[in-house]
Amino acid sequence: MISQEPLLQVKNLTKLYAPEKGCEAIDFELYPGEVLGIVGESGSGKSTLLNCLSGRLIPTAGEICYRNRDNQWLNLYALSEFERRRLLRTEWGMVHQHARDGLRMGVSAGANIGERLMAVGERHYGDIRARGLQWMQDVELDIHRIDDKPTTYSGGMQQRLQIARNLVTHPRLVFMDEPTGGLDVSVQARLLDLLRNLVTHLDLAVVIVTHDLAVARLLAERLVVMRHGHIVESGLTDQVLDDPQQPYTQLLVSSVLTP
């Protein structure tokens, strides 16, 4: 059941690099437990928007407000960089398209998961290792490889480890950037099934950027379609994909359906 009070409010968010580069005048709300998909062609501004939302890129104008665990509203870019980073390590998560960007490749799988726990105050080695083993099992990784470095893992396994690293602290909001991009089709299917189950089980709020409308349909309840940095259409995912109202969305959908 989606809460009546938003978790995230985005108001007039703008980040421009040049004409039609970036995102402009973005407005939306995200509710606890809701999965919002952001779709559009390359250059539509969806990655810029995600970077602004996740605290990694300072916008030109507008604001992003987040309601934290203590029910206090925080203006993301009124916080210090340290406070934003702390938020990303505790109440938020970020799943990168390339798992190497979200993992420390020089330390073990267990250490990657344990670092997130230590960021929220865990200090007991036995408890941290036990939680690491449990999460490796939850994302269907071989628990006997907890001391192996991510460099020895396949791409799909690295992505599962990155997911475990992000979710071990039970964040309230997770950002995902093309989480299945670059993986084999069979690996993508298993990873999507895992993500869908975890999101539902943990009641996560998620913002997911993807160029793959099949991924959006599977994971997202609501969809935002971007073009040239603007939102051109939004609504319930099935409604947007099955009955698109805007010419650009119609073209986007038909290009996927056409052999």
> Tens digit of pLDDT for each residue in 50-76?
999 999 999 999 999 999 999 999 999
User: What are 37's strand-pairing partners?
Assistant: 208, 223
Per-residue pLDDT of 16-25, as tens digits, reads 987 668 999 9
Query: How far is residue 237's CA from residue 224's CA, in Å, rounded to a whole number?
Result: 9
The domain 1-91+174-259 is classified under which CATH number: 3.40.50.720, 3.30.70.100, 3.10.520.10, 3.40.50.300? Answer: 3.40.50.300
Residue type, 100: R
Instruction: Please determine, for residue 255, whether its predicted confidence score (pLDDT) is greater than 90.
Output: no
